[in-house]
Amino acid sequence: MSAAELTDLSMLELSEQLAARKVSSEEATRACLQRTEQLDPKVSAFLKVDAKGALAAARASDERRGSRAASSRVDGVPIALKDIFVTEGVETTCGSKILKGFVPPFDATVVRLLKQAGTPILGKLNQDEFAMGSSTESSAFFPTRNPWDLGRTPGGSSGGSSAAVAARLAFGALGTDTGGSIRQPAALTNTVGLKPTYGRVSRFGVIAFASSLDQVGPITRTVSDAAALLQVLAVHDVQDSTSSRNPAPDYLAEIDRGVKGLKIGLPKEYFLSGMDPEVEQAARKAAQEYERMGATVVDVSLPHTQYALATYYLIAPAEASSNLARYDGVRYGLRVQGKSLRDMYLQTRSAGFGPEVKRRIMLGTYALSAGYYDAYYLKAQKVRTLIRQDFARVFESVDAIISPTSPVTAFKLGEKVNDPLAMYLMDVFTLPCNLAGLPGISIPCGFSAAGLPIGLQILARPFEEALLLRIGRAFEREHDFFRRKPPLS
């Protein structure tokens, strides 16, 4: 099998080849590293490649496979990590200058679980600084490019993760989703992005943006691959006080059951004037496909959706303002010497944070300040409750909700970078899911006339990831979108 054929395999396809001893993990890892060396100068997905560590893990996996002692179904399958996950011995920057040179002494829980599962970790992937952005252009180092059109964004903030998977630089990747940062880049790159229920996956060792919204999840090329990765990650963690004790089911056990008899809601608030007509058409066509497969599709309403964007951009910056107070130049990361302690704080944070992070810190600090807390942050939390109640009411009558993931296809680099509101609107369909703590997935559902990917979002009740995966898999079985490759050479 050639290197190109090898990197075209899905995670589970590679797993079958590894189990049959038709290919080795070392071969698969070297194929990824070779492709990264060849193509990443164009894509700019990686911040750091850990070839030595990945190859050592691959050889260890091959030894386990040889003695029929594989650690997991994905043992030996090379993946990569968004640079938001604390990784022992590997520089972890969160896309920010303020953490440049920071080498953690321990692994995040999800990194530890991946290592225990035997997955070689290829390196750390680019992202928007502190996960604040929708295009990976706020990275302190460089923008990542969409493999489908190098002049366009791969989305954000997990843009490096989506680009690496789409470009076949890795078989899968981990990202984080605070307001759509897994699902939106997946939609823009023809990949699958799964945001689990809040608390389903541990956040210990994940650099915090907004603690009541952040969640870890996989970006893969197929729905089944996302299920396999989630299986590794969905473990209760005593080190994370928000980690759920609900036992995880076997996410692959019923993934091929289909959708016959299910009731799916189509929310009218997710079809806005001004959205790309091709995106709307693809989402509505997907709804018709589900009806053809035996599901019932009905119109539903989520009336408080119109307030979700404003609510999110009060809560998330407020929590970010609190979380980012720890970066002061004293304990780790960047330090700029000043004339006094206060001046050192000022100089360090001024030099270390980029414009978008500073904007959100100021917004959040204002919303939490004396005299404004009740008017802004507290009121936003009350509206968040109304948004959550909207979903709870709708889920009394439907099993799942479908909508477009992003209102547009991948936009050009630089197109929205100087217009924060236009950039924030890119997450208008994804952030209500985070406010309500729901699971959501984006799957490929078509292409525009210009050849740009379009994603379909599926939402379900809390902890019903298995149902999400089943619904996504039913659509995937009927189409070959996930088999299409970006025009890279």
User: Considering 181, 224, 321, 442, which one is annotated as catalytic?
Assistant: 181
Is residue 260 annotated as a catalytic residue, yes or no? Answer: no
377 DSSP 8-state letter: I
Q: Identify whether the C-beta of residue 88 lies closer than 8 Å to the C-beta of residue 180.
A: no
* Helix (H) or strand (E) segment spanning residue 21: none
Burial of 253 (0-12, 13-18, 19+ CB in 10 A): exposed
Is residue 181 annotated as a catalytic residue, yes or no? Answer: yes
Tell me which residue has tokens 């928000």. 242
Tell me which residue has tokens 């404003």. 310
User: Considering 82, 124, 195, 416, which one is annotated as catalytic?
Assistant: 82
Q: Using CA atoms in the order 243, 247, 252, 253, what is the torsion angle rounded to 10 degrees?
A: -170
Cα 267 to Cα 402: distance, rounded to the nearest angstrom: 8
User: Considering 135, 138, 139, 157, which one is annotated as catalytic?
Assistant: 157
Burial of 359 (0-12, 13-18, 19+ CB in 10 A): middle
Output the 3-class SS for 441-461.
EEEEEEECCCCCEEEEEEECC
Q: Identify whether the C-beta of residue 185 lies closer than 8 Å to the C-beta of residue 178.
A: no
Beta strands in 357-412 (DSSP E): 400-404
For the chain, the distance separating the N- and C-terminal CA atoms, rounded to the nearest angstrom, is: 19
Alpha helices in 120-222 (DSSP H): 159-166, 183-189
Give the DSSP letter string of 208-272. Answer: PS-TTT--EEEEESSHHHHHHHHHHH----TT-TT---SPP--TTTTTTS--TT-EEEEEGGGS-
Spatial neighbors of 412 by CB under 8 A, at least 6 apart, are 151, 152, 153
C-alpha dist (Å) from residue 302 to 272, 307, 426: 13, 11, 19
User: What is the greatest pairwise CA distance in the chain?
Assistant: 70
Is residue 157 annotated as a catalytic residue, yes or no? Answer: yes
What is the number of other CB atoms lying within 10 angstroms of the CB of residue 242? 15
Tokens standing for residue 81: 């990590």
Tokens standing for residue 169: 């630089």
Q: Which of 198, 455, 160, 426 is nearest to 313 (CA)?
A: 426
Give the catalytic positions in this structure. Answer: 82, 157, 181
